[in-house]
Amino acid sequence: MRPELDRHLELDAMRGFAVMGILAMNIIAFAMPEWAYVTPMAYGGLSTENQISWIFSFIFIDGKMRGLFSLLFGASMMLVIERAQAKGESATKVHYARMFWLALFGLAHYFFLWFGDILFVYASVGCLAFFFRNWQSERLIKWALIIFGLGLLLWGLQFGGLQVLQYFATQPDADAELARQYDEIMRGNDFDLNIADELALHRGAYWPIVSDKLSEWYSPLTAILQSITETLPLMMIGMAMKKNGFIIGDWDKSIYIHWAKRLVPGGLIASAALAGYLVAVDYDLINSLAVFLVWSAIPRLMLTVGYAALLILFIGRISHGKLIHRVAATGQAAFTNYLGTSVLMTILFYGYGFSLFGHLSRISLWPIVFAMWALMLLWSQPWLARYRYGPLEWLWRSLARGQMQSLTR
């Protein structure tokens, strides 16, 4: 068994890779209208460059980094619980204090910075996941897959039904009532791209952006309902992986290779097939949304776990290198890096900053992503060499503990 300090290099480094990878997808939502995340047709047109950029992100990145973050949230939750119990503290009190303040951070992030917040969802789902803390890893995984499957069934019935309706309603000899229902759905708010309004809003002043989100105050609650059947199972799997040692690198190397070979190729092939299907149907909105929200869920889960296995192998291979320790420091300060990214990206793209919203192509966003990755890697390690926590990690911990925590080492 490795020393305790080294045992969690995998957790920190994976969290670092995840927070960096999340930006590679979130950059689209920072820089373009919301629908551009779902389909290249919404913004940028069907140029070869725009399609290839979207397809690459969809196959290799979309949802997988968020999935890793969810796994790691579950694993870290177990770590906090175990440490609280080892100190004789109330794990319940410690956990729910952390989730309460995380939820407030998430709401502030959503309303006053950026609509793509995941912190409120994580805090809310984390409150539920706590009830399963004493389950064995096998039971956690079993019920995670059951919940995931039920969610897939429910969403599949809804969006599969829409796809069937679209098929029959658009036939030359379509029933008039079906055609009317389909037309009504397509003219509804759910399928209104609203590109011009979004461009005007995000190229404008700060307060109208905030006011727009305040007018839809229920959106963070809606996000929980939309994501719980994927986020909760991933957290439960992460909890199981901490209990059985998978996510901290305690398993034999051959087992990680086995799971990587079993999950990654299949997940990539399935994702590529879905992307090919969307190309074939010209990225129409119903099919794009159905693939994005429902049909990509299984390959997304496969790749999330497969990537975790690959990353553990990779981290173990370069564990003595300087770069992986910079990545691990980025993961230790993931909370600060995540929220700090929102601050910098909104200043860069929104009208109250440099107003680049909607002006850059997908491929031209990558240099910004690389620059932000470099910034994360450059500041995190020197800061943590001097201080015990990242700035916002320290604030979160102090608020959750009800007293100022020691920051300097």
Amino acid identity of residue 67, one-letter, is: G
Contact present, 156 and 229 (Cβ < 8 Å): no
Q: What are 357's two structure tokens?
A: 């919203």
Percent of the chain with pLDDT over 90: 93
3-state secondary structure at position 387:
strand
Lowest-pLDDT range, 2-6, 166-170, 180-184, 246-250? 2-6
Percent of the chain with pLDDT over 70: 98
Nearest residue to 22 via CA among 76, 60, 66: 66
What pLDDT sits at residue 1? Answer: 34
pLDDT at 315 over 70: yes
195 backbone dihedrals φ, ψ, rounded to 5°: -60, -50
Q: Average pLDDT, stretch 136-151? A: 98
Q: What is the pLDDT of residues 383-397, one digit of tens each?
A: 999 999 999 999 999
Q: What are 322's two structure tokens?
A: 């300087």
Contact present, 120 and 130 (Cβ < 8 Å): no
Whole-number Å distance between alpha carbons of 59 and 24: 13
The rounded Cα 305 to chain-centroid distance in angstroms is 14
Q: Average pLDDT, stretch 315-343? A: 97
pTM score of the predicted model: 0.95
Confidence of residue 2 (pLDDT cuts 50, 70, 90): very low
DSSP secondary structure code for residue 87 in this structure: T
pLDDT at 6 over 50: no
Whole-number Å distance between alpha carbons of 183 and 181: 5
Q: Average pLDDT, stretch 209-214? A: 97
Contact present, 169 and 156 (Cβ < 8 Å): no
Contact present, 103 and 122 (Cβ < 8 Å): no
What pLDDT sits at residue 188? Answer: 81
Whole-number Å distance between alpha carbons of 208 and 23: 25
What pLDDT sits at residue 240? Answer: 98
Confidence of residue 409 (pLDDT cuts 50, 70, 90): confident
Confidence of residue 194 (pLDDT cuts 50, 70, 90): confident
What pLDDT sits at residue 140? Answer: 98
Q: What is the pLDDT of residues 69-87, one digit of tens each?
A: 999 999 999 999 999 999 9
Contact present, 318 and 180 (Cβ < 8 Å): no
What pLDDT sits at residue 7? Answer: 45
pLDDT at 5 over 80: no
pLDDT at 269 over 60: yes
